[in-house]
Amino acid sequence: MESKQKTITWHTVVAVIGILVAIGLFSYGGYRYHLLQNQNVLLGNSISELEGNISQTQNRNSELLLALDTSQKQLESLTGQIDGISSTVGTLQKLAQTDPELLKKYSKIYFLNENYLPVGLSDIDASYIFEKGKNILFHTSARLFLDKLLAQAKNDNQDLKVVSGYRSFSNQAGLKSAYKMTYGSGANKFSADQGYSEHQLGTAIDFTTSKVGASFVGFEKTPEYSWLKDNAWKYGFIESYPPNNSYYVFESWHWRFVGIKLAQMLHEEKKHFYDIDQRKIDSYLITLFDN
């Protein structure tokens, strides 16, 4: 009986210990669960805060990208404006350095005074001068184009010679007086008064051949004249007084440099320099010495 009571007591102790252990484990589990829950809440808060920071960063990046794009567009606009201003300044400088008189319609229309002198004059190659030993001057900037024309004519077996280039106001006055003494009032049909001659610009030239000579008689029938008609415009030269012009008699030998662009337009549209409005002619001044 006593043994049986001891067994029951031991079992009770074991049960109580088991219950206590279970309670302890349950309490510890509850504590750990509560601790983990708190950690999860803190972690959740941290994640939310990080997500908020990320969202703010993304928004900030978007704002920065938008600001950068706006700045780039403004920079491109400013660059375009600067380029436009530079181009305009360059054009104005180019025009300022180009003598506007060089494309004026003289020959009884515009007048050059006795003090007018081209910016620069230089000698034409002596091998192309008709009268040996004579020095003939031509506008320096335009002479580069004349040199090319004469060289190409020579390569094409054309006997093209130069009789006259630049003539000053006083030279033209002396020439006109001599013509008047010989031809009287008839000189006005083929010779300009001083101040009205294209030769004073330094960009007009009189051509001939070795056979025709300085009289120019029959030059319009030569292969050289035909060559000029077909090719002179490529070098910026035009025929100032073609057949049936209203200024002077037909002068097949007299040619004037007006720049390649203007000469090309006149050639393609079959127009005459003196029949074009002066304002339209002036628009070609910027390209006068362009190749």
For residue 91, the model assigns a pLDDT of: 56
Span 204-227, pLDDT tens digits:
999 999 999 999 999 999 999 999
Question: What's the CA gap between 224 and 212, in Å, rounded?
Answer: 11
For residue 197, the model assigns a pLDDT of: 83
Question: What's the CA gap between 260 and 291, in Å, rounded?
Answer: 7
Low-confidence ranges of the chain (pLDDT < 50): 82, 85-89, 176-192
Tell me which residue of 244, 182, 237, 238 sits closest to 215, measured CA to CA: 182
- Burial class, 254, CB count within 10 angstroms (exposed 0-12 / middle 13-18 / buried 19+): buried
For residue 33, the model assigns a pLDDT of: 67
Span 79-128, pLDDT tens digits:
555 455 444 445 556 656 789 999 998 866 777 778 888 999 999 999 99
For residue 225, the model assigns a pLDDT of: 98
Q: What is the CATH number of domain 100-287?
A: 3.30.1380.10
Instruction: Indicate the length of the chain as a whole number.
Output: 291
pTM of the full predicted structure?
0.66
Within its chain, how far is the Cα of 137 from the centroid? 31
Q: How many CB atoms lie within 10 A of CB 276?
A: 16
For residue 87, the model assigns a pLDDT of: 47
Q: How many CB atoms lie within 10 A of CB 248?
A: 16
For residue 268, the model assigns a pLDDT of: 97
For residue 182, the model assigns a pLDDT of: 45
Give the bridge partners for 204, in sequence order.
Answer: 256
Number of alpha carbons in the 13 Å side-chain half-sphere of residue 103: 25
Q: Which position has the token pair 């008047």?
A: 180
Tokens of 72: 């780039």
| Sequence spans of domains, the chain | 1-97, 100-287
Element (H, E) at 54: helix 2-96
Instruction: Please tell me what DSSP assigns to residue 143.
Output: H
Distances (CA, A) of 150 to 42, 127, 147: 95, 10, 5
Close Cβ partners of 95 (under 8 Å, ≥ 6 residues apart)? 285, 286
For residue 3, the model assigns a pLDDT of: 54
For residue 188, the model assigns a pLDDT of: 42
